[in-house]
Structure 1
Amino acid sequence: MPTSEARAETSAVTTPEPTPAREVLRRVWGYDDFRGDQAAIVEEILAGRDALVLMPTGGGKSLCYQVPSLVRAGTGIVISPLIALMADQVDALSALGVRAGFLNSTQLPHERAATEQALLAGELDLLYLAPERLRVAETQRLLDQARIALFAIDEAHCVSQWGHDFRPDYLRLSMLHERWPDVPRIALTATATDATRREIATRLDLTGARQFVADFDRPNIQYRIVPKNSPQQQLLAFLRTEHPGESGIVYCLSRASVERTAAFLEKQGIPALPYHAGLDRQVRSDNQARFLREDGLVMVATIAFGMGIDKPDVRFVAHLDLPKSVEGYYQETGRAGRDGLPSTAWLAYGLADVVQHRKMIETSEGDAAHRRNLGRHLDAMLALCETVTCRREQLLAYFGQPGSGACGNCDTCLEPPQTWDGTIPAQKLLSTIVRLDRRGQRYGAGHLVDILLGRATDRVTSLGHTDLTTFGIGTELDERGWRGVVRQLLATGLVGVEGDYGTLGLTEASGAVLRGEREVPLRTEPEPRRSRAKASGRSRSASGATAELSGPQAELFERLRAWRAATAKEQGVPAYVVFHDATLRAVAAQAPTTTGELGTISGIGAAKLERYGPGLLATIAGENRPDDSSR
């Protein structure tokens, strides 16, 4: 992924020892030093050795191959599945003064020929290729003629057949080492368990490579999971009270849900765009471009959208349906807050989600081992949803990272849930299933709840279910409470889903509960409430980035954003390609008056200083005052 991840921290204590890599980092990106494992990874590649890197979105993976590509002789070849984003990635690098290009199916023949000639002439620092392009013999012969600095395999988790985003062409990438054995390789991903990491190493022939596993924590993201109850209205309240006018992504499971939700938000006055694989390719491309280039848009999408999206100011990621795995959830929520500013990962989760996912697994293609693997993924996701402990701690533990105690920035930390002994209600529900089963009948959750609440509906009466001994024995709970019981029993495997209609049945674990040999602790279902931000009185600016700036500084920051928007529009690039919010905040806080002072600010390299310095200084001096229409 490109340059929005490429942020480095400046040491206030010691001056880093100058090296070719640090000189490039300072000159091109405007950062004084690497952070975390970046320096060690860069040195590994510069020494000609391979590396496997696990680093969260926003952690700076791109620097780990971009810097060595500029230091080593030759061109860095980046293997990426993100064809639709390659042009933006190249634009972002070009703005830094990096000679970058790409080869993919979107190019015209003369454009492809020009890029190939530049490669052979040694005029490219980085070249992006899709894995499908690399398997073409013509491309392999082209690379044989070029001087290659390194191979970077981005989104390396795509090689995992048990993962959440498998791409068959990634299986062929072991050929890199076979055909070009002296070229160092670096494989990078933001989401991988220990098992997936081992699979990546095996399939890419990287078992001997040094492995780097960064801290997976994204402390600026607040994780929240709420019971689903009129999800569109819940989403609307969340957006209006916590993120008005801010950019974000809403994920839905189906294309139809994407269309409905985008239309609903538009009707409510919130600018929203749909994105799913069923849309015309040009529509998808146009919507993606608008999301990248405009402020305040909400993208409503299936998981087909998002990988490689280099938009640093995504303030929220919302899920209206349950993700299939923790890996998918982590990767999708990681698209929020890449600039390090406060952001929200919000998920509405309900009984129907559990039933639907269990049914999808039961009817999925593949053998029993494949279904068991899907089940394990879902079980882990459900455990995260139903936990009464810190969500962040459980999320990090899933990726093998020990927690450091409650984070204080997730819903279970901010409002610890209560638990209660649900053994007797569980026995009542299971007993109802047993009695229906004796009659050769299976029903869904709604019908079971009607029986337990003693509702003599037409269906319950016509089926003779008022005669069941469990009819009306569950009035200690209301419908919401019973649906919570069913959801949690499904999540913990005490109830199973059967058949095409999602009917409920017993599991192997049910017997211990019925016999009184197993207790069933359950979460208390919270009362529906208004958005947390409204209740606490928290407010945000439209940019979400001015909280620590004084009045005049905040006003300057908004002028700088307006200048940036006008500049980006004129150049036809996303605003973040010009500068990130974090850089503009630093400019607003320091208000430099000379080019020399401007050049000391983190994130302003030599190329951007020369290209944008006069405009920044003029804006600071009050000479540039674009009207609001340019924002």
Structure 2
Amino acid sequence: MLADPRSILKSVFGYDSFRGRQRDIIEHVTSGHHAFVLMPTGGGKSLCYQIPALVRPGIGLVISPLIALMEDQVAALRQAGVKAAALNSRLWGAEKDLLWRDIAESELDLLYMAPETLLKGENLDRLKSAQLSLIAIDEAHCVSQWGHDFRPEYRALSCLADLFPRVPRIALTATADAPTRAEIVEHLNIGAQNSFISGFDRPNIRYGVAEKTSTMQQMLRFLEPRKGESGIVYCLSKRKTEDIAATLNAHGFTALPYHAGMEMKAREANQRRFQHEQGLIMVATIAFGMGIDKPDVRFVLHADLPASVEAFYQETGRAGRDGLPAETLMLYGAEDIALRRRFIDESEASDARKRT
């Protein structure tokens, strides 16, 4: 591989110039320093670890939360001529042995793993003898106990600092308030001086908010002019996703449900359809969306009040990643506010956190 970040940017990824703070971050990590990166959705976070992984000797280890997302990223990288692979629960037998051989012989540029897979003792032992160029922790807000996407397995990634002391760690997220940022930096032992914080502004997204009067009618009024466009409708309950998807299909839209109560195969089939088909609406609970990298999502509609400002930003941020205009609408009512207050009161957070 070429050793110059700028030429890699052009020859591998097809871009003429860096955006925002990409160049600073890439130079920082390439020099062997840790980094915490907060960058808006669609701001080009992945290049901040992909390019240093191609510049530095060894394999870039990327920790990512979802198998479907990993596989999409690996496919895109391979298409660009990058030697990338994913080690996950779907890999068995000879295929898995072959991948481990490639890892041992540094035949890869980037290796994607879920935290659950990485943290298995045998996998950590084998990686200790591999040459790693960096460790990227994507969707790093999952580390935070009070983040909206907390995952206990992410919490256990604090062991990486001890196991791979000389390998630079880069933690990336699009959404983290100040306490969450501090928690990530401290927990992953990155050092506050290594933080790169970009603004949250997404000027191509138009935000709309309305009080609920007749939810379904309001939704249909918003969606009717957008027939044939891809979008996401977020709901609070599994049942509501099914009901709304059925109603939208009856009104001539193509809508699919997505929630944690569905079988994994059905969920993944719906996610794949959404990723690759045009004009499809995903009606989902918050189980859907982390790391979704579909550039042409033209709208996000909240049928219920989101959990927090950070959750709202993360969910609406899935719109307009191609930089073209996108719209959002959030519907809220007194019931939503009462329900959210109950969730907060019943949570195990400290009183100070509950007030926040």
TM category, shorter: over 0.9
The aligned residue for residue 49 of structure 1 is 33
Query: In 2, Cα distance between the equivalents of 1:218 and 1:365?
Result: 31
The aligned residue for residue 37 of structure 1 is 21
Shift of 1:92: 1.0
Query: In 2, Cα distance between the equivalents of 1:66 and 1:20?
Result: 13
**Mapping for residues 226-237 of structure 1, pairs under 5 Å:** 226-237=210-221
The aligned residue for residue 207 of structure 1 is 191
Q: Deviations over 1:488-519 (max 9, x none)?
A: xxxxxxxxxxxxxxxxxxxxxxxxxxxxxxxx
Report if aligned partners of 2:139, 2:173 keep a CA contact under 8 Å in 1: yes
Shift of 1:224: 0.5
The aligned residue for residue 109 of structure 1 is 93
Query: In 2, Cα distance between the equivalents of 1:25 and 1:365?
Result: 45
The aligned residue for residue 273 of structure 1 is 256
Query: In 2, Cα distance between the equivalents of 1:337 and 1:346?
Result: 14
The aligned residue for residue 73 of structure 2 is 89
- What SS does the aligned partner of 1:92 have? helix
The aligned residue for residue 153 of structure 1 is 137
Unaligned 5+ segments in structure 2 are: none
Report if aligned partners of 2:60, 2:109 keep a CA contact under 8 Å in 1: yes
The aligned residue for residue 325 of structure 1 is 308
Query: In 1, Cα distance between the equivalents of 2:330 and 2:97?
Result: 47
Report if aligned partners of 2:233, 2:284 keep a CA contact under 8 Å in 1: yes
Report if aligned partners of 1:52, 1:209 keep a CA contact under 8 Å in 2: no
**Mapping for residues 135-534 of structure 1, pairs under 5 Å:** 135-207=119-191, 209-241=193-225, 243-362=226-345, 364-366=346-348, 369=350, 373-376=353-356
Q: Deviations over 1:48-101 (max 9, x none)?
A: 111110001100000000001111111100011112321111111111111100
Are 1:20 and 2:20 an aligned pair? Answer: no
Q: Relative CO higher for 1 or 2, CA cutoff 8 Å, sep ≥ 6?
A: 2
Report if aligned partners of 1:333, 1:345 keep a CA contact under 8 Å in 2: yes
Shift of 1:244: 1.8
The count of corresponding residues between Structure 1 and Structure 2 is 355
Higher strand share: 2
Report if aligned partners of 2:40, 2:200 keep a CA contact under 8 Å in 1: yes
The aligned residue for residue 496 of structure 1 is none
Query: In 2, Cα distance between the equivalents of 1:142 and 1:344?
Result: 47
Q: Which amino acid aligns with 1:295?
A: Q
Report if aligned partners of 2:141, 2:184 keep a CA contact under 8 Å in 1: yes
Task: Report the CA distance shift for 1:360/1:172 in structure 2 as closer, same or farther (over 3 A).
Answer: closer
Shift of 1:360: 2.9
Task: Report the CA distance shift for 1:36/1:298 in structure 2 as closer, same or farther (over 3 A).
Answer: same
Q: Which amino acid aligns with 1:263?
A: A
- After superposing on structure 2, the runs of 4+ consecutive aligned residues of structure 1 that deviate more than 4 Å are none
Higher Cα Rg, which structure:
1
Unaligned 5+ segments in structure 1 are: 1-17, 377-631
Query: In 2, Cα distance between the equivalents of 1:365 and 1:328?
Result: 16
State which of 25, 28, 45 in structure 2 corresponds to 1:61: 45
Report if aligned partners of 1:50, 1:209 keep a CA contact under 8 Å in 2: no
Query: In 2, Cα distance between the equivalents of 1:238 and 1:216?
Result: 25
Q: Which amino acid aligns with 1:227?
A: E
Query: In 1, Cα distance between the equivalents of 2:24 and 2:128?
Result: 29
Query: In 2, Cα distance between the equivalents of 1:360 and 1:203?
Result: 26
Give the structure-2-normalised TM-score.
Answer: 0.97
Task: Report the CA distance shift for 1:199/1:45 in structure 2 as closer, same or farther (over 3 A).
Answer: same
Query: In 2, Cα distance between the equivalents of 1:246 and 1:185?
Result: 38
Query: In 1, Cα distance between the equivalents of 2:77 and 2:27?
Result: 21
Q: Which amino acid aligns with 2:140?
A: A
Shift of 1:145: 2.0
Report if aligned partners of 2:3, 2:55 keep a CA contact under 8 Å in 1: no
Q: Deviations over 1:344-369 (max 9, x none)?
A: 1111111121122223333x2426x2
Query: In 1, Cα distance between the equivalents of 2:21 and 2:69?
Result: 26
Shift of 1:209: 4.7
Query: In 2, Cα distance between the equivalents of 1:360 and 1:308?
Result: 25
Q: Which amino acid aligns with 1:366?
A: E
The aligned residue for residue 123 of structure 1 is 107
Shift of 1:246: 0.3
Q: Which amino acid aligns with 1:251?
A: Y
Query: In 2, Cα distance between the equivalents of 1:152 and 1:133?
Result: 15
Shift of 1:208: 5.0
The aligned residue for residue 621 of structure 1 is none
> Which deviates more, 270-279 or 161-170?
161-170
Of all paired residues, the percent bearing the same amino acid is: 55
